[in-house]
Structure 1
Amino acid sequence: MERIVLTTTQKALKINLNENIYGTFAEIGAGQEVVRHFFRAGGASGTVAKTMSAYDKDFSDAIYGKEIDGRYVTEQRLRKMLEHEYGLIEQRLSRDKFPNKCYFAFANTIATINFTKKFKGHGWMGLRFQLDPDDEPNDVIFHIRMKEEEAYLQQETIGIMGVNLIYGCFHIRNNPEELLRSLYDNIAKYKIEIDMIHFE
């Protein structure tokens, strides 16, 4: 049976209306483009526990630690973000209060196209998520290369892909190949390329 492709707003709203999905968003480098879809869709208070951006490098280092190579748009940085943010959920949200919640932490670290347009931009995006409140979390992490010529267009595409990731992990989780295809829902493939992905 062919999968019905929902709009980005429909996907965000479906997540928001699921009372058992709850988590945080940490987005660095391209604005809070993913979480804004959840706020705009309505009902986000049942889904979003926290959202943040640490643009200043000193702030980012204070939260996630310094990288040995001094780089910020790396797989290692993304993994630190997921580890830190998911750990805070477990520390701060009582299972007695939220016995049926499946927790998640979404993160991305992005460098969009520069002013001279000599650097097209790339980034890392990932989700740590539970499929059952009693289960250990799963990770999906991938690297993207952006091909659009304007930063605001890249930001919009990143926002859509982030929603696709969260929706796919909770609704297409049993079919990794279809989940991978779904990351491009509502996105023309010439706009962005996923060149590496990990399912863990």
Structure 2
Amino acid sequence: MTPKTYDKAQELNLDPLIYGTFAEIGAGQETANYFFRASGTAGLVAKTISAYDMTMSDAIYGRAQRYVSADRLSAMLDHEYSILLERLSAKRGNETTFFSFCNTVRARGWKDHGECHGWLGIRFQMKPGDPPSDIILHVRLLDNRTIDQMETLGVIGVNLIHSAFRYRGHLKKFVESLTDNLAAGRAEVDLLKFSGHGYDFFDNRLCALQLVE
């Protein structure tokens, strides 16, 4: 049986090895919200942030030509993960697998009828002290209502974090789990990429094939 989104969030909240930060821009803080609404949040969440204003975002992550892009996601992951290690590795680095989850999203606006999509990613350690590994994805949001798109993003975000720690060595299961608890036709994941520690010899073309299947 597929675990519910709240169950996945609570499972991670209660895992004493995992600890990290959330940075979400463009559609609320729906991924972090699932972890807050599940019990045991203090066991997982070190910080959440949503630099919604462009000037504020630029001050934190640097200027961007495009705010909803792989480059912007990369800048967010670089900043959030480096701050996390800088502030917490001395205190708990020997027994913690750190992570930073980030997304940058264009959701439906009240007078916006353009394409709705987002970039989501997680930078994480496979075990305490490891160099970082990255998993990023691009998703097309197919719901018409903003509130539904926000819900979809939250679910996919939880699925991504959960899969990074539970299914990272099982590509088929990883891909299948990204849309757990979402009805067909609500979102389309059209890019998935693994890189960094543990993925040096990983062929990302396999991800494309798995997404098609």
Range into which the TM-score falls when normalised by the shorter chain: over 0.9
Report what 1:92 is aligned to: 87
Asked if 1:34 corresponds to 2:65, the answer is no
Asked if 1:16 corresponds to 2:10, the answer is no
Report what 2:159 is aligned to: 164
Distance in structure 2 (CA, Å) of the matches to 1:59 and 1:86: 18
Asked if 1:111 corresponds to 2:99, the answer is no
Asked if 1:126 corresponds to 2:127, the answer is no
SS of 1:174 mapped into structure 2: coil
* Code of the aligned partner of 1:56: D
Distance in structure 1 (CA, Å) of the matches to 2:154 and 2:120: 11
The change in CA–CA distance for 1:96 and 1:31 in structure 2 (over 3 A counts) is closer
Match of 2:67 among 67, 72, 86: 72
Distance in structure 2 (CA, Å) of the matches to 1:90 and 1:125: 20
SS of 1:18 mapped into structure 2: coil
- TM-score normalized with structure 1 length: 0.94
* Code of the aligned partner of 2:21: T
Residue identity over aligned pairs, in percent, reads 45
Deviations 1:12-35 (A, max 9, x none): 000000011000000000000000
How do 1:155-194 and structure 2 match up within 5 A?
155-194=150-189
Distance in structure 2 (CA, Å) of the matches to 1:49 and 1:145: 29
1:148–1:191 CA contact under 8 A, matched in 2: yes
1:114–1:121 CA contact under 8 A, matched in 2: no
Identify unmatched segments of 5+ residues in structure 2: 196-213
2:31–2:155 CA contact under 8 A, matched in 1: yes
The change in CA–CA distance for 1:38 and 1:113 in structure 2 (over 3 A counts) is same
The change in CA–CA distance for 1:146 and 1:131 in structure 2 (over 3 A counts) is same
Identify unmatched segments of 5+ residues in structure 1: none
Equivalenced residues, count: 195
1:5 CA drift (Å): 1.2
SS of 2:60 mapped into structure 1: helix
1:22–1:103 CA contact under 8 A, matched in 2: yes
The change in CA–CA distance for 1:131 and 1:117 in structure 2 (over 3 A counts) is same
Deviations 1:103-141 (A, max 9, x none): 000000001023245224111000001110121111110
Asked if 1:5 corresponds to 2:22, the answer is no
1:120–1:148 CA contact under 8 A, matched in 2: no
1:78–1:126 CA contact under 8 A, matched in 2: yes
1:98 CA drift (Å): 4.0
* Code of the aligned partner of 1:134: G
1:117–1:149 CA contact under 8 A, matched in 2: no
Deviations 1:144-171 (A, max 9, x none): 1111010000000100000000000101
Distance in structure 2 (CA, Å) of the matches to 1:130 and 1:181: 22
The structure in which a higher percent of residues are helix is 2
Match of 2:194 among 186, 192, 199: 199
Further displaced range: 54-63 or 117-126: 117-126
- TM-score normalized with structure 2 length: 0.88
Distance in structure 1 (CA, Å) of the matches to 2:71 and 2:9: 28
1:16–1:47 CA contact under 8 A, matched in 2: yes
Distance in structure 1 (CA, Å) of the matches to 2:184 and 2:162: 19
Deviations 1:16-55 (A, max 9, x none): 0001100000000000000010010011111000000000
